[in-house]
Structure 1
Amino acid sequence: MITQQQADFYRENGYLLVKGVFNKEEIEQMRIATDAIIERAAKSKFDQSSTWQGDYLPPEQLKKLVLKGFHDVHYHDAVFTRALCHPNMAAILTKLIGPNVQVHHSKMLVKPPENGAAFPMHQDHPYFPHANHSMLAASIHMDDSDMENGCLCVIPKTHLEGPIPHVGSHYLNHKEYPISMGTPCPASAGDVLFFNYLTIHGSDVNRSKRPRRNVLVQYRDPEDPPTEDVHVNWGQGLMVCGHNPTFKEYKGAH
């Protein structure tokens, strides 16, 4: 699915956009599932906006923004279980991580039209630090994405700098790391952006009349141990490629 040259680009720059990983039918199934999850959540007591709080935007602008973010979407619809284990995904992941690849978690990120919230620049590392930094994110695009509707932006090669102190462990100083520093990664529906969890990334507000629907899956090498007991869920550890060299008993959360 990708060439050695593309894999080398990822290792050098900390990100890689792969075109056409999913076909139109697969993406449409994900869109339908996403809309249904949002509808079910709205009827439950668990619905919420996941807009990041902070001083990166004026308060009056911040309170108008919405971000629908739900973790572990593959627990809510089997279409996402098929997506995160898709043969095309597996072929790419083995080139970027190695022969053994494990799911850490998944989440849905939906920026609604005209008021979809921004993500200030940050690394994912503070949320779930690992010893060998094999962790990467795969952002599956269900819609065409550009700067107008808040596409992802990355700062190439920042994964080589290691962990950087964050403001309140959430995001980087927005004056030192504005979104304008990033390289925009516009994508089409069906494309997947892969980036290391140390690569600085973020996205601007959705100012368009189009939604920006993404599902993000975090993957790791099963032999890369977490350095903190954080961000643990009961379904963590699903093997996507290869095998788990370390035998252990997995138990559900209490």
Structure 2
Amino acid sequence: MFSKTDAEFYKENGYFHAKQVFTSDEVEAMRGAVEAIIRRAAETKYDKNHTWEGDYLGDEDVRKLVLKGFHDVHYHHAAFSQAALHPKMAEILRGLIGPNVMLHHSKMLVKPPEKGAAFPLHQDYPYFPHAKHTMLAASVYLDDADEENGAICVIPGSHKLGPLPHVGRYYLDHREYPISKATLCPAQKGDVLFFNYLTIHGSDANRSSRPRRNVLFQYRDPLDAPTVNTHFDWGMGLMVTGENADYFEFRNQLNKL
């Protein structure tokens, strides 16, 4: 049961760890769907390595590491659309965003055993800036995660800093924001980590013999308008709870793409 105390924690710290939102059966359904996507993609031009690149990694390191990521997974398999609309998710989202919640996009991120790439610390804001900053991520853990296999880390309260300059729009300067500066958020499969898109977060490499599979849903208030016409595509717009009072303007924006 999501409480007022939970909402206050999120407001103060910029993140909230919800335990056992999904059952083992629901997690297994999403795991199977993830494997099916990877298997189908391997036979197409869409099979790419999404490892972050930059001066924090040498070329040799980049070649060794792997990160599999695919957007709009709720169009690939019903397990993800069911997860995005799950009653437990909707209850928490109403407490964090308000009565009206829209799905912005979804994606999966897979760090394979022993060579899963790190995510340097960053904010999600540069990718899809919005006026009221209601945007948040809900990262669903499909595996137990700890320091060894690259659990997500956050800097509590960093959302209060507002938008920060990023290196090439992708990540914060690793000399000023090393991963060691962040708080590890270990989790069990079925848990969900919610964090505001201004909250600084990232994860270390997967050095274990276990995979680290996550599905991420990005949500916002439908009246929180984008300030830049970017990351605005056909994978968004599903209402999770409440109504979209700005639907016709939203449709006009989509029609212009």
TM-score bracket for the superposition, by shorter chain length? over 0.9
Instruction: Name 2:66's counterpart in structure 1.
Output: 66
Instruction: Give the 5 Å matches for 1:91-240.
Output: 91-240=91-240
Secondary structure at 2:247 match in 1: coil
Q: CA RMSD in A?
A: 1.1
The whole-number CA distance in structure 2 between the counterparts of 1:236 and 1:253 is: 15
Q: 1:252 to 1:85 in 2, by over 3 A?
A: farther
Structure 2 residue runs without a partner (length 5+): none
CA drift at 1:237 = 0.9
Equivalent AA in structure 2 for residue 87 of structure 1: P
Secondary structure at 1:149 match in 2: coil
Secondary structure at 1:44 match in 2: coil
The whole-number CA distance in structure 1 between the counterparts of 2:56 and 2:245 is: 43
Aligned length in residues: 254
Instruction: Name 2:79's counterpart in structure 1.
Output: 79
The whole-number CA distance in structure 1 between the counterparts of 2:177 and 2:166 is: 11
Structure 1 residue runs without a partner (length 5+): none
The whole-number CA distance in structure 2 between the counterparts of 1:21 and 1:168 is: 35
Equivalent AA in structure 2 for residue 222 of structure 1: P
Task: Spell out, residue by residue over 1:106-145, the C-alpha distance to the aligned partner (whole angstroms, 9 max, x if none).
Answer: 0100000000000000000000000000000000000000
Task: Spell out, residue by residue over 1:71-111, the C-alpha distance to the aligned partner (whole angstroms, 9 max, x if none).
Answer: 01001001000000000000000000000000000010000
Instruction: Tell me if the contact between 1:234 and 1:252 (Cα under 8 Å) persists in the aligned partners.
Output: no
Instruction: Tell me if the contact between 1:137 and 1:216 (Cα under 8 Å) persists in the aligned partners.
Output: yes
CA drift at 1:233 = 1.4
The whole-number CA distance in structure 2 between the counterparts of 1:62 and 1:164 is: 25
Equivalent AA in structure 2 for residue 61 of structure 1: D
CA drift at 1:253 = 7.6
CA drift at 1:57 = 2.0
Instruction: Name 2:41's counterpart in structure 1.
Output: 41
Range with greater deviation from structure 2 (10-19 or 239-248) = 239-248
CA drift at 1:247 = 3.2
Q: 1:102 to 1:37 in 2, by over 3 A?
A: same
Instruction: Tell me if the contact between 1:93 and 1:101 (Cα under 8 Å) persists in the aligned partners.
Output: yes
CA drift at 1:235 = 3.0
Give the structure-2-normalised TM-score: 0.97
Secondary structure at 1:9 match in 2: helix
Q: 1:252 to 1:21 in 2, by over 3 A?
A: farther
